[in-house]
Structure 1
Amino acid sequence: MAEVADYPGTIHLTEISSDAKLHYHKQLTETYYILECDADAQMQLDDARIDLKPGMLVMIRPGTRHRAIGKMKILNIVYPKFDPSDEWFDE
């Protein structure tokens, strides 16, 4: 989505081709809408893993350690606007 000054969040298409690194956000809430994914694709939310399929929504609240596992194409809906500096790792 093109940047719209008065829209309170961001929406972007993301293709994930390898396992993401476990991380969290202090301010952002992300919602992944799964467009396409391999049969073994999962989301890790803290210590839980969720099997994914197209059409699913996964909300990730601030402070939740998360990562995408496997190959997928998603819409990432972020509130407030995505800020790349709000990505934190435990290590």
Structure 2
Amino acid sequence: MNPSSSPPTARLVHLPDLPPVDCPCGQARRGFADCTEFPGTIHLTNIHTDARAHFHQRLTEVYTILDCDADAAIELDGVAQSVKPLTSVMIPPGVVHRAVGRMTVLICCIPKFDPHDEYFPDEYFPDE
């Protein structure tokens, strides 16, 4: 490290303390949105019922299931995949996805979450 440069600044956030934001999945608490040192955001998301299917054109998400009901699943391009706690799912841009059933998920979004990069197939492809 160069002695004349300042050291990197670490940040700490307690996700449950952040205000919840309604989203297609349920309610998300979004951390590091204002942190220029991190290229993404971390979301603690509570899904109480089936989430609305959606996709992103630029955003990659990694869902890590922290807790879920026994019959919970992630639907990826219309195919349901069973999940259990500590399952991680990488969802690249363009994959239509939704959570099915009650679960608590930690989501890492790269780049930072942008609500303008959230699309719904029934609106985006209205004739299908």
Q: TM-score range by the shorter chain?
A: over 0.9
Matched residue count: 91
Unpaired runs of 5+ residues, structure 2, are 1-30, 123-128
Residue 89 (structure 1) aligns with: 120
- Alpha-carbon distance between aligned partners in 2 of 1:89 and 1:35, rounded to the nearest angstrom: 25
Task: Identify the structure with bigger relative contact order (alpha carbons < 8 Å, sequence gap 6+).
Answer: 1
Are residue 61 (structure 1) and residue 61 (structure 2) matched? no
Larger radius of gyration: 2
CA RMSD in angstroms, aligned pairs only: 0.9
Give runs of aligned pairs for residues 26-41 of structure 1, distance below 5 A. 26-41=57-72
Higher helix fraction: Structure 1 or Structure 2?
A: 2
Equivalent residue letter for 2:94: G
- Alpha-carbon distance between aligned partners in 2 of 1:11 and 1:47, rounded to the nearest angstrom: 25
- Alpha-carbon distance between aligned partners in 2 of 1:43 and 1:64, rounded to the nearest angstrom: 12
Unpaired runs of 5+ residues, structure 1, are none
- Residue 34 (structure 1) shift: 0.5
Match of 2:45 among 14, 17, 20: 14
Residue 83 (structure 2) aligns with: 52
**Partner secondary structure for residue 115 of structure 2:** coil
TM-score normalised according to structure 2 size: 0.69
- Alpha-carbon distance between aligned partners in 1 of 2:78 and 2:45, rounded to the nearest angstrom: 24
Higher strand fraction: Structure 1 or Structure 2?
A: 1
